[in-house]
C-alpha cells in the first residue's frame, strides 16, 4: 500500500475536483482518493502495480495536470497566482470603464461622445473593448472548453458560455444591421457586449477576493512553517559558522542566542535558559531548560545562550511533523462533504440543461430572442458550484489551523468532524487524569524487615522495569541510600500483574492482589492494609519473599491541577465521562470521587481495554483519551482516539487527535472546536444550496411577472455568483474568532451507560478467549468446546468431576452447544496502528466473528468464530482494506 500527495492544476470549481476524484478513483488498485479544491492537491492510497505516473496520466486525460508534491522538478518559480488575478482584474476594469461609459452612459443617458450619432461606430468600439477583455480573461474559455470536450463541464464552462453567447449574439446583430441598415436604430439598445465583458470582470473580481480569502485560511500552516529559522549557527570543527538549516545533520552542535528559534529537536549540552513553547504546544508559561533538557524545533529561546546537540532534523523534527499533520488533515475530506461532492458532479451539466430549457420556454412564450437569451445567460452565470465545493474544505482548513495554534492536532478531517458527535469520553487514569509520575507514600512492613530494607529490596526487583511505579520505588531507594542499586538475580515481567524474580536465591514477587492470590499468599492482614491504602486513593504493591508477603508499599500518583475542571467541562458538554484503569476498585474510586467522573471501570488489564471500548460502543460514539503504549489498542478501537502530547510515539500514531500539551482541558477544547467547525460547515452548505435554490429560478424569470416583476440580468447574476463563494470563505474565517473555552452544549441529553453490563461483557469475552486458547484442535477435525453448561478445562488436573465427554463436541455436532473456534490470519502491509484499526474493523464486520485481536508486531490477526466462516470470506475482508493475506491457519 502506498500513499502519495499530488499537486493538481487546472481545477476551478467543485465540478473539477469531483471529476478528478472520479477518474482517479476508477483506476484499478486505488483504495482511496481525496481531492482538495482549496489546496489544489490530491491524496491517493493505492496498491502496486499502479504507479504515480499512471495516476498523473489519468488526471491529464481528464484535462488537468497532476504531479507528485515531492517532485522538485515541478516546483519552478512561477508568478504568484493572486498577483496574476490582480493584473487581470485591473486590466479588465481599466477597459470596462470606457466600455460601460459608451454602452450605458452614451446610449442610455446621453453622455457626450464625439461619435455618439454613429451607431455602427459605437458597436465596433464596444466589440473591440469587450474582445480585449475576453482575451485578458481567456483562461475561462480555455478551461471551460477543455472541460466541455472531456464531457465534464465546470464553472468556467458556465462563465465562458454566458459571455460567449452574449458576444456572439451582439456580433450577429451587427452583421444584420450592416446588411440591412434599417435595423441600425434598433441595434444600439440591444447589444450585449458590455454583459459579455462585465460577466468576466465580475467573476475575476470574485475569484480574486476568493483566492485572497482562501490564502487567509492557510495562514496557520504558513505561520508554523515560518517558525523554523532559515539558517543556524552550527559549530563546525570547533568554530561557529552560519549554515542553511537544510545542511544541519543529526548529532551536529549548534548555538542558540536569546530571541532565536531552535532549528531542530535536540538536547542542551551547555548553558541554561527559559523557552517559550507556546507556538508549538500552546503552553503560555515559559519552560526552564538546563543541560540534558530536550528542546523542540520552532520554539523560542528567551534569555540564555545554549549549545544544543541536534537529535531530529529536517522533515523529522516535531515542527515538521506538526505541519505535515495539519496539511494532511486539511487535504483530507470529511464525511459530510460527500453529499456536496455528489451534487457538484452533476451540477454544471444540470445547469446547462436548465438554461437551455429556460431559453426554449421563453422563446416559445414571448417569441423574443433577447428576453430568452437574457434569462438563459443569467441562469448560466448565477449558478455557483464553487460555493458548494468550498463549503467543507475552507472550514476544515480554518478549523485545523485554529486547533494547531492551540496545540490540538487533528490528523484527518474525519476526526475533526466526528469528535463533536461523541457520546462517551473514556479517560485512562495514569498520565491522563494524573501526572503519570507516582511517588512512594507509605511502607508497611509485615515481617522483620525494616521499612528502608523493604524499599531497597523492592527497588532491586523493580530496577529492571520501565513502569512509572517501578521508577517511584527506585527513586525512593536512591533517597534512602547513595549506593548503586544492584539488579535482581533474575527478572520476569508479569504483564498487568507485577514482577517475578530472584533476590539472593529467594523467589521474589511484587505486584497486585491478584498476583498474590494466584500464588496463594494473600493473607487477611495484608488485605486489610491494602484496603486502607486503596481507600485513600493509593495503589498498594504487595512484596513477597520466599512464598510470604513481607510488606506493602503504597504508591500514589498526583492528580493534574486541571483534571477536575476539565472533566466538569466535558460533562457540561453533555458527555458521559468514564475512567478506565488497571488500579484496584478502591484506589480508582478515590481518584474518581476527587474528579467527579460519571463511572469507573477498574482492574482492567492492558489487553482488556480494547474489549471495554468495544462494549461501550453499544451506547454511542466513544472517544478514548490515553498516553501510553498500553492505550494504543484502545485508541485504535475507539471511534476517536486522543493522545495526550506527553505520551509515547506509538500512542500518538494510534490516535486520531494529538494534544501537544499534557492538559486534559484540551480534550474539551478539541470537542468544542469540532462542534463549531461542523456547525460552520452546515452553515456554508446551507448557504451554498439555498443560494442556488433561490437564485436560479429568479434568474430564469420565475418572478418577472406582475405584481412582483423581479428580474436579474446577466451582470447582476455574475456579481451574485462571485459574492456567494466569498461569503462562504468569509464565514469559515469566523472560526478564527471562536472561543474554545466557551461551552458548546449538545441538544440531546447524555447517554445512559450500564457499567456493570459493560464489565460483564468484557469478562465474558475474556473467558471466551481464554477458553478458545486452551481448546484442543485436530488437524483433521476442528473441535469446538461448549462452555455453556460447565467450566470445562482441557487440563485433566483442573477438570471438575461433573465435566465429561458429553460437554466436548465436534463441528458436526453444533446443535448441542455454542460453536467456538479460532483462526490465525497472517497479514502483510500493516504499517501502523491505523492499519491495525482498519483490519480490526473489517474482520469484526464478518458474520460469525465474535472477537478480533490484531497484532502489528506479529503481522497477524486472531479471530474467534461462533460459526463456520470460510477462509475466503476472511481473506476478502482483509484484502478489501488493501492488505495481503499470506496464510490462514
- Residues classed as catalytic: 428
365 CB-near residues (< 8 Å, 6+ apart): none
3-state helix, strand, coil in the chain (%, to 5): 50, 20, 30
- Residues 412 and 574: beta-carbon distance below 8 Å: no
**Region for 314 from its dihedrals, namely left if φ exceeds 0, alpha if ψ lies in -120 to 50, beta otherwise:** left
State the Cα angle at 769 between 767 and 771, rounded to 5°: 65
Going by C-alpha positions, the residue among 191, 177, 185, 201 that lies closest to residue 104 is: 191
- Residues 518 and 470: beta-carbon distance below 8 Å: no
What is the rounded CA–CA span in Å between residue 851 and residue 101? 77
Residue 872 grid coordinates: 475466503
CB neighbours (10 Å) of residue 292? 8
User: Half-sphere exposure of residue 801, counting CA atoms within 13 Å on the CB side?
Assistant: 0
Residue 584 grid coordinates: 484496584
Q: What are phi and psi of 355, to 5 degrees?
A: -60, -40
541 CB-near residues (< 8 Å, 6+ apart): 458, 469, 473, 498, 510, 511, 512, 552, 553, 554, 555
Strand (E) or helix (H) holding 300: strand 300-301
Residue 617 grid coordinates: 460502543
Q: Where are the beta strands (DSSP E) in 631-726?
A: 640-644, 657-659
Q: Where are the beta strands (DSSP E) in 467-571?
A: 490-494, 498-503, 506-511, 539-545, 548-556
Strand (E) or helix (H) holding 169: helix 155-179
What is the rounded CA–CA span in Å between residue 879 and residue 889? 17
CA distances from 91 to 86, 133, 407 (A): 9, 8, 44
Residue 229 grid coordinates: 529559522
Residue recorded with cell 477544547: 669
Going by C-alpha positions, the residue among 773, 768, 798 that lies closest to residue 786 is: 768
Q: Identify the three-state secondary structure at position 266.
A: strand
Quickly list DSSP for 865-886.
ESS---HHHHHHHHHHTT-EEE
Q: Identify the three-state secondary structure at position 617.
A: helix
Residue 177 grid coordinates: 444591421
- Residues 520 and 415: beta-carbon distance below 8 Å: no
CA 549 to chain centre: 50
Residue 887 grid coordinates: 496464510
- Residues 735 and 409: beta-carbon distance below 8 Å: no
Q: Which long-range contacts (CB under 8 A, 24 or more apart) does 693-702 make?
A: 695/382, 695/383, 695/720, 696/351, 696/354, 696/379, 696/382, 696/383, 699/375, 699/378, 699/379, 699/382, 699/383, 700/354, 700/358, 700/375, 700/378, 700/379, 701/358, 701/362, 701/371, 701/375
What is the rounded CA–CA span in Å between residue 126 and residue 118? 13
Amino acid at each position: 500500500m502506498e500513499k502519495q500527495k499530488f499537486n493538481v492544476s487546472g481545477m476551478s470549481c467543485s465540478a473539477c475536483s469531483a471529476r478528478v476524484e472520479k477518474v482517479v478513483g476508477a483506476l484499478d488498485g486505488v483504495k482511496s482518493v481525496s481531492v482538495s479544491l482549496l489546496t489544489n492537491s490530491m491524496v491517493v492510497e493505492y496498491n502496486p502495480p499502479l504507479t504515480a505516473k499512471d495516476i498523473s496520466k489519468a488526471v491529464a486525460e481528464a484535462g488537468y495536470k497532476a504531479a507528485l508534491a515531492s517532485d522538485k522538478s515541478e516546483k519552478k518559480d512561477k508568478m504568484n497566482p493572486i498577483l496574476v488575478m490582480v493584473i487581470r482584474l485591473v486590466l479588465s476594469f481599466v477597459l470596462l470603464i470606457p466600455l460601460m461609459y459608451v454602452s450605458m452612459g452614451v446610449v442610455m443617458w446621453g453622455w457626450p461622445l464625439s461619435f455618439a450619432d454613429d451607431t455602427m461606430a459605437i458597436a465596433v468600439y464596444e466589440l473591440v473593448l469587450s474582445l480585449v477583455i475576453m482575451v485578458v480573461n481567456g483562461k475561462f474559455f480555455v478551461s471551460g472548453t477543455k472541460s466541455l470536450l472531456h464531457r465534464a463541464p465546470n464553472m468556467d464552462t458556465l462563465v465562458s458560455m454566458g459571455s460567449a453567447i452574449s458576444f456572439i449574439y451582439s456580433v450577429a446583430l451587427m452583421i444584420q444591421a450592416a446588411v440591412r441598415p434599417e435595423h441600425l436604430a434598433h441595434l444600439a439598445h440591444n447589444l450585449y457586449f458590455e454583459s459579455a465583458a462585465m460577466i468576466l470582470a465580475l467573476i475575476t473580481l470574485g475569484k480574486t477576493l476568493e483566492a485572497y480569502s482562501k490564502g487567509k485560511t492557510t495562514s496557520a500552516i504558513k505561520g508554523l512553517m515560518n517558525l523554523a529559522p532559515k539558517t543556524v549557527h552550527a559549530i563546525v570543527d570547533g568554530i561557529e559558522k552560519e549554515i542553511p538549516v537544510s545542511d544541519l545533520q543529526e548529532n551536529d552542535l549548534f548555538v542558540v542566542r536569546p530571541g532565536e528559534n531552535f532549528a531542530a529537536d535536540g538536547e542542551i549540552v551547555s548553558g541554561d535558559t527559559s523557552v517559550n513553547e507556546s507556538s508549538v504546544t500552546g503552553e503560555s508559561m515559559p519552560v526552564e531548560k538546563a543541560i540534558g533538557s530536550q528542546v523542540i524545533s520552532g520554539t523560542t529561546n528567551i534569555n540564555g545562550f545554549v549549545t544544543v546537540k541536534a537529535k531530529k532534523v529536517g522533515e523529522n523534527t516535531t515542527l515538521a511533523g506538526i505541519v505535515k499533520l495539519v496539511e494532511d488533515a486539511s487535504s483530507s475530506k470529511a464525511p459530510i462533504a460527500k453529499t456536496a461532492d455528489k451534487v457538484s458532479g452533476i451540477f454544471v451539466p444540470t445547469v446547462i440543461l436548465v438554461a437551455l430549457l429556460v431559453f426554449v420556454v421563453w422563446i416559445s412564450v414571448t417569441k423574443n430572442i433577447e428576453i430568452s437569451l437574457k434569462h438563459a445567460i443569467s441562469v448560466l452565470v448565477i449558478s455557483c458550484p464553487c460555493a458548494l465545493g468550498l463549503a467543507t474544505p475552507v472550514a476544515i482548513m480554518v478549523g485545523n489551523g485554529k486547533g494547531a495554534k492551540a496545540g490540538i492536532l487533528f490528523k484527518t478531517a474525519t476526526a475533526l468532524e466526528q469528535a463533536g458527535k461523541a457520546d462517551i469520553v473514556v479517560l485512562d487514569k495514569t498520565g491522563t487524569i494524573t501526572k503519570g509520575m507516582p511517588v512512594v507514600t507509605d511502607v508497611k512492613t509485615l515481617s522483620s524487615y525494616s521499612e528502608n530494607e523493604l524499599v531497597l529490596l523492592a527497588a532491586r526487583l523493580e530496577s529492571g522495569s520501565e513502569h512509572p511505579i517501578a521508577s517511584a520505588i527506585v527513586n525512593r531507594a536512591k533517597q534512602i541510600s547513595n549506593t548503586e542499586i544492584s539488579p535482581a538475580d533474575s527478572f520476569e515481567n508479569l504483564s498487568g500483574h507485577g514482577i517475578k524474580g530472584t533476590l539472593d536465591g529467594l523467589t521474589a514477587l511484587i505486584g497486585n492482589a491478584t498476583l498474590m492470590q494466584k500464588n496463594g499468599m494473600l493473607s487477611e492482614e495484608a488485605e486489610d492494609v491494602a484496603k486502607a491504602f486503596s481507600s485513600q486513593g493509593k495503589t498498594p504493591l504487595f512484596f513477597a519473599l520466599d512464598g510470604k508477603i513481607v510488606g506493602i508499599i503504597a504508591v500514589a500518583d498526583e492528580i493534574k491541577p486541571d483534571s477536575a475542571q476539565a472533566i466538569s467541562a466535558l460533562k457540561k458538554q453533555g458527555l458521559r465521562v468514564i475512567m478506565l484503569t488497571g488500579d484496584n476498585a478502591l484506589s480508582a474510586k478515590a481518584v474518581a470521587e476527587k474528579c467527579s467522573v460519571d463511572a469507573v471501570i477498574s482492574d482492567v488489564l492492558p489487553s482488556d481495554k480494547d474489549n471495554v471500548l468495544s462494549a461501550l460502543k453499544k451506547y454511542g460514539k466513544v472517544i478514548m483519551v490515553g498516553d501510553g503504549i498500553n492505550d494504543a489498542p484502545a485508541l485504535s478501537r475507539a471511534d476517536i482516539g486522543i493522545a495526550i502530547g506527553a505520551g509515547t510515539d506509538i500512542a500518538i500514531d494510534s490516535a486520531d487527535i494529538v494534544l501537544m500539551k499534557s492538559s486534559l482541558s484540551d480534550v474539551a477544547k478539541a470537542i468544542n472546536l469540532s462542534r463549531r467547525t461542523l456547525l460552520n460547515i452546515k452553515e456554508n452548505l446551507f448557504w451554498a444550496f439555498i443560494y442556488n435554490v433561490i437564485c436560479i429560478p429568479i434568474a430564469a424569470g420565475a418572478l418577472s411577472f406582475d405584481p412582483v416583476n423581479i428580474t436579474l440580468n446577466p451582470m447582476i447574476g455574475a456579481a451574485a455568483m462571485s459574492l456567494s463563494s466569498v461569503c462562504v470563505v468569509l464565514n469559515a474565517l469566523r472560526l478564527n474568532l471562536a472561543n474554545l473555552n466557551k461551552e458548546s452544549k449538545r441538544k440531546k441529553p447524555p447517554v445512559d451507560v450500564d457499567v456493570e453490563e459493560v464489565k460483564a461483557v468484557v469478562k465474558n469475552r475474556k473467558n471466551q478467549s481464554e477458553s478458545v486458547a486452551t481448546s484442543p484442535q485436530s488437524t483433521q477435525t476442528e473441535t469446538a468446546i461448549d462452555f455453556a453448561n460447565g467450566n470445562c478445562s482441557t487440563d485433566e488436573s483442573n477438570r471438575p468431576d461433573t465435566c465429561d465427554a458429553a460437554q466436548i463436541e465436534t463441528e458436526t455436532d453444533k446443535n448441542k452447544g455454542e460453536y467456538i473456534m479460532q483462526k490465525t490470519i497472517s497479514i502483510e502491509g500493516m504499517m501502523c496502528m491505523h492499519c491495525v484499526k482498519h483490519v480490526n474493523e473489517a474482520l469484526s464486520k464478518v458474520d460469525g466473528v465474535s472477537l478480533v485481536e490484531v497484532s502489528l508486531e506479529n503481522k497477524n490477526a486472531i479471530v474467534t468464530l461462533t460459526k463456520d466462516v470460510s477462509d475466503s470470506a476472511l481473506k476478502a475482508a482483509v484484502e478489501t482494506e488493501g492488505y495481503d493475506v499470506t496464510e490462514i491457519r
